[in-house]
């Protein structure tokens, strides 16, 4: 009887020891925003985990409409996220969860566009710089396939950020200062471009520098967002 009891305890400890408590994951959706994202999760042995994500810059290319022409952008981002995850399932590292988190993102972009300005050909160079610090709550579900392969689905993560963004457009095809009509048309073009983004269009300050052929649009304030995506990895 004593031998059976000791053997049973040893078997339970072996199962607990063999359970994976650490997961390392990669989020391919981060590449869309110019970030190679590596995530880690450390489970305390129950329903709670600490999570962290580091995003390293990785160039990605997108096309936006500016002044009725395609503007090609190259973007890259650095990010960090830390969260505290609680699973609703009794299964280890498996099932639905909620995860309050803190995040930081710094994203930069550069682009060019060739079109018309005041009925003459003009080429513009663009730069964009975004910084944001925010908090949110991630709702998602995680699967363990076999004992070690992990699929983590970030289904819905409402968040609020304190953000700054600076967008600049500069004409590089002419050495002459802008005329009054050049400046007005450039200002209208950048206003129409900013209007594509619903939460910042009414709170962006626009400044036109005719002498240096440059226009800037600066935003500072609260910015809501949604975190969603998927990561895959290995638990051990």
Q: Which two tokens stand for residue 190?
A: 């950048």
Residues 219/197, Cβ–Cβ less than 8 Å: no
* Residue 111, domain extent: 2-235
Average pLDDT across the chain, whole number: 90
pTM of the model: 0.86
> Tens digit of pLDDT for each residue in 121-180?
999 999 999 999 999 999 999 999 988 999 999 999 999 999 999 999 999 998 899 999
Residue with tokens 């566009």, as numbered in its chain: 113
Strand partners, 124: 113, 171
Residues 35/78, Cβ–Cβ less than 8 Å: yes
Residues 171/183, Cβ–Cβ less than 8 Å: no
Taking residues 89-118, what's their average pLDDT? 94
Domain count, the chain: 1
Strand partners, 70: 65
> Tens digit of pLDDT for each residue in 135-151?
999 999 999 998 899 99
Residue predicted with more confidence, 125 or 65: 125
Beta strands 60-66 and 204-209 are unpaired
- The helix or strand, by DSSP H or E, that contains position 190, with its residue range, turns out to be helix 180-194
Residues 220/164, Cβ–Cβ less than 8 Å: yes
């Amino acid at each position: 009887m004593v031998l059976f009891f000791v053997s049973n305890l040893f078997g339970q400890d072996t199962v607990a020891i063999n359970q994976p408590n650490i997961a390392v994951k990669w989020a391919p959706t981060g590449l869309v925003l110019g970030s190679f994202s590596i995530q880690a999760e450390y489970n305390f042995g129950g329903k709670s985990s600490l999570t962290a994500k580091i995003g390293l810059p990785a160039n990605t290319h997108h096309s936006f409409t500016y002044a009725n022409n395609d503007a090609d952008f190259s973007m890259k981002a650095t990010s960090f996220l830390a969260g505290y995850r609680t699973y609703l399932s009794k299964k280890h590292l498996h099932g639905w969860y909620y995860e309050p988190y803190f995040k930081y993102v710094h994203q930069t972009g550069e682009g060019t566009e060739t079109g018309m300005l005041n009925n003459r050909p003009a080429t513009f160079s663009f730069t964009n710089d975004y910084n944001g610090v925010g908090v949110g709550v991630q709702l998602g579900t995680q699967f363990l396939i076999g004992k070690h392969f992990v699929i983590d689905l970030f289904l819905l993560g409402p968040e609020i950020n304190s953000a700054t963004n600076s967008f600049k457009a500069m004409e590089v095809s002419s050495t002459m200062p802008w005329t009054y009509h050049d400046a007005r048309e450039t200002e209208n073009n950048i206003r129409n471009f900013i209007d594509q983004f619903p939460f910042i269009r009414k709170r962006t300050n626009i400044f036109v520098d005719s002498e240096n052929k440059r226009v800037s649009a600066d935003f500072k304030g609260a910015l809501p967002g949604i975190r969603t995506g998927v990561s895959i990895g290995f638990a051990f």
